[in-house]
Amino acid sequence: MQIIKDRNIIEDSWQFIADEHPLLPGDCTVTLERWLKEKEQLLRHDGKVGVRIESTDNLEILSGDLALIPLVEVNFVIFSDGRAFSKAWLLKNRYQFTGEIRAVGNFLADQIFYLSRSGFNAFNFEGNQNLTLALSMLNDFSVSYQKPANQF
């Protein structure tokens, strides 16, 4: 599966594991709820383990664990739910998260510039998004009135 990460199109093998299923070999993401419940066990997994955040999740309860997590993915149920933008901003600034912040779910290529300015550095589109086009949209604007999320 291809995604955009750090302004490149790359092959990616992270897989999201729903709560009722056991982890699969390789790199996996789990829900925040599962992470909080099974943290010890999950950390013994062979591959890396990341956490999927929903727009309704409270980031603060994850803040103490961020050093243990290489990836946080923020899920869009619908592209118009702007909470994800603030979640990414908070991860990057308030919680100084240095790992990967990945947008997943129902978001648009046309949002990629704003997403990137808010702190996301990886994008896993649903469906058949043309990734070359999406990549080019990271350069829609060469100027901005606001500081990027990592410069506060």
Partner 1 sequence: MYQYNQDDQTLINERVAQFRSQTERFLKGELDADQFRALRLMNGLYIQIHAPMLRVAIPYGLLSSTQLRKLAHIARKYDKGYCHFTTRQNVQYNWPKLEEVPDILAELAEVQMHAIQTSGNCMRNTTSDHLAGICKDEIEDPRPYCEIIRQWTTLHPEFAYLPRKFKIAVSGALHDRAATQFHDIGLHLVKNEQGETGFKVFVGGGLGRTPVIGQVIRPYLEKRHLLSYLEAILRIYNLFGRRDNKYKARIKILVKEEGLEKFKSLVDEEWHHIKDGMELSDERIHEMQAHFVLPHYDNSASIDSTFPNHLESDNAFATWVKHNTVEHKVPGYRAAFVSLKAPDEPPGDITDSQLEVVADLADRFSFGEVRSTHRQNLVFADVKQADLFDLWQQLNKTKMATPNIGTATDIICCPGLDFCSLANAGSIGITREINETLDNLDYLHDLGDIKINISGCMNGCAHQSVGHIGILGVDKKGEEWYQITLGGSSENEAAIGDRLGPSVPKDQIAQAVAAILDVYVKNRIEDESFLDMVKRAGLTPFKKQVYANH
| Binding footprint of partner 1 on the chain (CB under 8 A) | 79-83, 85-86, 89, 94, 108, 110-111, 113-118, 140-146, 149, 152
Q: Which is nearer to partner 1, 23 or 112 (CB)?
A: 112
Q: Give the whole-angstrom CA distance, residue 27 versus residue 74.
A: 16
Sign, CA dihedral 31-32-37-42, equals positive
Beta strands in the chain, from DSSP E residues, in sequence order: 2-5, 8-11, 15-16, 28-31, 49-53, 71-76, 100-105, 122-125
Min dist. Cβ of residue 126 to partner 1 (A): 12
Output 46 or 140, the one with its CB closest to partner 1: 140
Residue 14 vs 107, nearer CB to partner 1 = 107
To partner 1, the closest distance from the beta carbon of 132 in angstroms equals 14
Q: What are φ and ψ of residue 21, in 5° steps?
A: -105, 150
Q: Cβ of residue 86: shortest distance to partner 1, in angstroms? A: 5
- DSSP code string of 126-145: SS---HHHHHHHTTS-S--S
Q: CB of residue 19 vs partner 1: minimum separation in angstroms?
A: 24
Residue 35 vs 120, nearer CB to partner 1? 120
